[in-house]
Amino acid sequence: MSESHRKIKSFALRCGRMTGGQAAAYESMLPTYGIDFVKQAIDLKALFGNDNPVVLEIGFGMGASLAIQAANNPDQNFIGVEVHTPGVGALLARMKEAEVTNIRIISHDAVEVFEHMIVDNSLHRVQLFFPDPWHKRKHHKRRIVKSEFIQEIRAKLTDEGVFHMATDWEDYAKHMLKEMLAEKGWHNQSQDNSYVPKPEYRPVTKFQKRGEKLGHGVWDLLFQKEQFQKDIVNGEAKDV
């Protein structure tokens, strides 16, 4: 298959060794809290055993933020999607230490997970915290926040569900804001139509604190799903 016909990945698969604790948690807990990728929609109520709101985080890294959120919000369910195996092991170790049980993990490409496994109108919130900014111009095509995926996320959100993004790269923040404002069916929660203060539910991780010590800024974007307005054309309702 030629390069032009390969699906462009929004992530770089990074290999790394797990610590002993991460490896032990991976072996003992993944069978319970891991979800195999299949081209079949998940029954979220059956998966969690309740109908609590579901939050999905794309690329949870080493899992610090997701573990804290799940521990602080036992009345919500969380799905973490991450391709980095040591990160999966790290999150499972954090879950074991904090006795967190309201997280499920999918170790697969998020684009395909949304396409095949997530039912429309099922997610309370989608989170994308500190994604790879692909800062070189020749790599911008790999950025995950672009029109097709934005509307894929919108389809999976419940009515008035939200898409929360955060980055410490100003150029990527501007890119995400531009892409989101160009799409129909979204309401920016910012008062000046730009960025929002960090919501209380997003923890400040060691990664963010380290960046702030180095003088990095952090930008949060919060967009709420809106229903498309309907226009009647030739007797049929059309999205406008």
Query: Which residues are identified as catalytic?
Result: 132
Q: Is 94 helix (H, G, I), strand (E, B) or coil?
A: helix
Q: How far is CA 176 from CA 146, 148, 190, 195, in A?
A: 8, 13, 14, 10
The torsion angles phi and psi of 178, rounded to 5 degrees, stand at -60, -45
Collapsed DSSP state (helix, strand, coil) of residue 103:
strand
Which H/E stretch holds residue 235?
A: none
Q: Which two tokens stand for residue 166?
A: 């955060």
Q: Whole-angstrom Cα distance, residue 90 to residue 45? A: 26
**Number of neighbours of residue 84 by Cβ within 10 angstroms:** 20
